[in-house]
Structure 1
Amino acid sequence: MFNIFEFHWRAKNRFQQVQRGILLAQNASEVEQKLLAKGYQNIHIQRNFSFPKQPKSEEITQFFTQLALLINAAIPFKQALVMQQENCTNIKLYQWLLNLNALINSGYSFSASMEKLNCYFSKQEIQLIRIGEKSGKLGLVLTNIAKARSQSEKLARKVKKVMFYPLIVLVISCLLTLGLLLFIVPQFAELYLDKAQKLPWLTAVLFYLSDTLQQQGLIWLFVLFSIVVSFLLFAKKYVNLTACQMYLLSHFPFLDRITRYSRIIFFTQNLALMLSAHIHLESALKAFLSEKMPDKVLQTQVQLSLSLLKQGYKFSEGLSSSVFSSQMVQMISIAEKSASLAEMCIHISDIYQQQLDHQIELLSQLFEPMLMLFMGGIIGTILIGLYLPIFDLGALV
């Protein structure tokens, strides 16, 4: 595999207008040749020294969207991929496109090449692309995949937005608490200890925490930082940690309903896509049994549904209302009787999308007073603990 680097360039076009951009290439001379071929002059090239990053989900969705537009515009598939590669600015994705083009040129199909490289795409998406290739509707399939991914990313952004505010308030609360324990509490400790006064238990606990932080604060800070960084790194790399995170969220008050609605939307959206592409129900369900699936609850449910299907039971009879909802199970049952399962899955997805939006909005409104109360409680407890000895002295007088 060739080493690919990022280069920033500045040049003038044939109309003497200054143009700037980013190109990925093996060296600066390759960039210069590309720019000269486009008619640029007075070329200035500078390499950007940065570590390659994994492409974001939005970049993969953009790849699907642009490839679908090019194919629907009757541009040959191989040429469309080359255009995608030329406009790519992510090194990892660029290398993936290089390998993808090499496999396709050697005789592999698009879906087989993606399956062989085995990164950035789910089993469901690869199956849909394979169906699109066989039916000659690859552009339509890619458009549907891009729409489904966009909806999932929109949902993820909403959830992150709701969680961002509590996180900021929690960080501020921790910083204020540390500031009080490190700078304010020691001054009160000197005042009270000089008088050899018996301190209330709350004040004694505050003094103990303050003394511990002053002596071992850096050690505890390093340990906490190491734990947080390790968790964030391993959670992205190992599916088990992500699955544990999903499990905790599904049992956390206020967030359990959001987790369930998200699971229903994800399941019905992907199932509707595959059923609409005339993929058999059993094959569509098998696509959810991926090792990269973070939601192990959903994976267990799909395995149970598959085993019951093979025994001759209906699909709806294998769905648990505790994993999804009784309303969804009833709607799936009705769809099976009317042979409109794909349309019903789309309908279910739309219904629970509206309910999820409402839950997220409600949660964001509830978080503000709860967090203010939480922050005020912590600071208030510290202040009360500091002034309790003064109240005791006043009572004695």
Structure 2
Amino acid sequence: MATFKYISKDMSAKTIRGTLEADDRNDLVRKLKEQNLFLVSCQDVTKKTVNQYKMKLNELSAYSREIGTMLASGLSLIRIFSIMVRREDNKKIKKIYENIYVKLQQGYTLSAAMEAQGVAFPNLMIQMYRSGEASGNMDKTALTMSDQYSKDHRIKGKTKSAMMYPIILIVITIAVLLIVYLAVLPSFFDIFQNVELPLITKINISISKFLQDYWYFVIMILVGLV
């Protein structure tokens, strides 16, 4: 539903201005006729909202798979999105589908409707859909994009899993070093007094004293690195 600002005339040719909600221009004309008014001009002043939700790889894959499968079965895009809107549980994604559904009813192409959704869809995906529209192979394009984003999602998951071990190892290493420098070495300070120590030992003692005196500074550095 869009909001139109209109200029109309009544039966006595008197100019009447106002705003009215309608599905499109034709619907606006019909509603004005019911009030014995004749449309002169109108402007769509619907408040524009841009989605800030960026769909994840698995969501993009599911989106393309549904479109490709239903297009291949002969359903129209408007019918497809009416189904997708009803079935979607995620409120943010549902809002995106609703916006696309409205755009399609207004005569937009699917790629243009997707482009109007802010950061929801990646530019590459939009351009691929635009190519599919031009070639008439939208169903194949959608299914190809579904496979691609599904693969990307699996690779991303494997990358995260592969990174877990080194991250855990680094955390444990830092924890052990802190225990050594803050708890173990200080207990030997009195023993090492007035004793000539090797350079490496002196460096470790200096690090230990620095950590004891400026531990808050070290925490700030670690937080900054994270």
- Indicate the residue corresponding to 1:191 in structure 2: 191
Which structure has more strand as a fraction of its residues? Answer: 2
What is the alpha-carbon distance in structure 2 between the residues aligned to residue 142 and residue 113 of structure 1?
Answer: 15
Q: How far has the Cα of 1:54 moved from its partner?
A: 4.5
Aligned partner of residue 88 in structure 2, secondary structure: coil
What is the alpha-carbon distance in structure 2 between the residues aligned to residue 222 and residue 119 of structure 1?
Answer: 33
Asked if 1:82 is matched to 2:82, the reply is yes
- Return 5+ residue gaps in structure 1 as ranges: 1-51, 229-397
Q: How far has the Cα of 1:169 moved from its partner?
A: 1.3
| Percent of residue pairs identical | 23
Structure 1 letter corresponding to 2:155 = L
What is the alpha-carbon distance in structure 2 between the residues aligned to residue 110 and residue 214 of structure 1?
Answer: 62
What is the alpha-carbon distance in structure 2 between the residues aligned to residue 160 and residue 101 of structure 1?
Answer: 35
Kindly name which structure, 1 or 2, has the bigger radius of gyration based on alpha carbons.
2
- TM-score, length of structure 2 as denominator length: 0.67
Matches within 5 A, 1:59-74: 59-74=59-74
Aligned partner of residue 107 in structure 1, secondary structure: coil
8 Å CA contact 2:54, 2:119 repeated in 1: no
What is the alpha-carbon distance in structure 1 between the residues aligned to residue 152 and residue 186 of structure 2?
Answer: 50
Q: How far has the Cα of 1:123 moved from its partner?
A: 3.3
- Indicate the residue corresponding to 1:207 in structure 2: 205
- Indicate the residue corresponding to 2:168 in structure 1: 168
| Number of positions where the alignment pairs a residue of Structure 1 with one of Structure 2 | 175
8 Å CA contact 2:115, 2:126 repeated in 1: yes
What is the alpha-carbon distance in structure 1 between the residues aligned to residue 200 and residue 132 of structure 2?
Answer: 68
- Indicate the residue corresponding to 2:119 in structure 1: 119
8 Å CA contact 1:55, 1:92 repeated in 2: no
Q: How far has the Cα of 1:118 moved from its partner?
A: 4.1
- TM-score, length of structure 1 as denominator length: 0.40
What do the CA deviations read for 1:11-62 (whole angstroms, capped 9, x no partner)?
A: xxxxxxxxxxxxxxxxxxxxxxxxxxxxxxxxxxxxxxxxx97532212212
Matches within 5 A, 1:326-337: none
Closer, same or farther: CA 168–104 of 1 in aligned 2, 3 Å: same
Higher mean C-alpha displacement, 109-118 vs 180-189: 109-118
What is the alpha-carbon distance in structure 1 between the residues aligned to residue 197 and residue 91 of structure 2?
Answer: 62
What is the alpha-carbon distance in structure 2 between the residues aligned to residue 161 and residue 61 of structure 1?
Answer: 21
What is the alpha-carbon distance in structure 2 between the residues aligned to residue 215 and residue 82 of structure 1?
Answer: 65
What is the alpha-carbon distance in structure 2 between the residues aligned to residue 173 and residue 53 of structure 1?
Answer: 38
The answer to which structure, 1 or 2, has the higher relative contact order (CA under 8 A, 6+ apart) is: 2
Q: How far has the Cα of 1:105 moved from its partner?
A: 2.2
- Indicate the residue corresponding to 1:56 in structure 2: 56
- Indicate the residue corresponding to 2:8 in structure 1: none
What is the alpha-carbon distance in structure 1 between the residues aligned to residue 115 and residue 173 of structure 2?
Answer: 47
- Indicate the residue corresponding to 2:48 in structure 1: none
What is the alpha-carbon distance in structure 2 between the residues aligned to residue 90 and residue 219 of structure 1?
Answer: 43
- Indicate the residue corresponding to 1:136 in structure 2: 136
Structure 2 letter corresponding to 1:182 = L
8 Å CA contact 1:65, 1:143 repeated in 2: yes
Q: How far has the Cα of 1:227 moved from its partner?
A: 4.1
What is the alpha-carbon distance in structure 2 between the residues aligned to residue 116 and residue 54 of structure 1?
Answer: 13
Matches within 5 A, 1:245-284: none
What do the CA deviations read for 1:112-150 (whole angstroms, capped 9, x no partner)?
A: 112233424333322221232234321111001111222
Closer, same or farther: CA 86–216 of 1 in aligned 2, 3 Å: farther
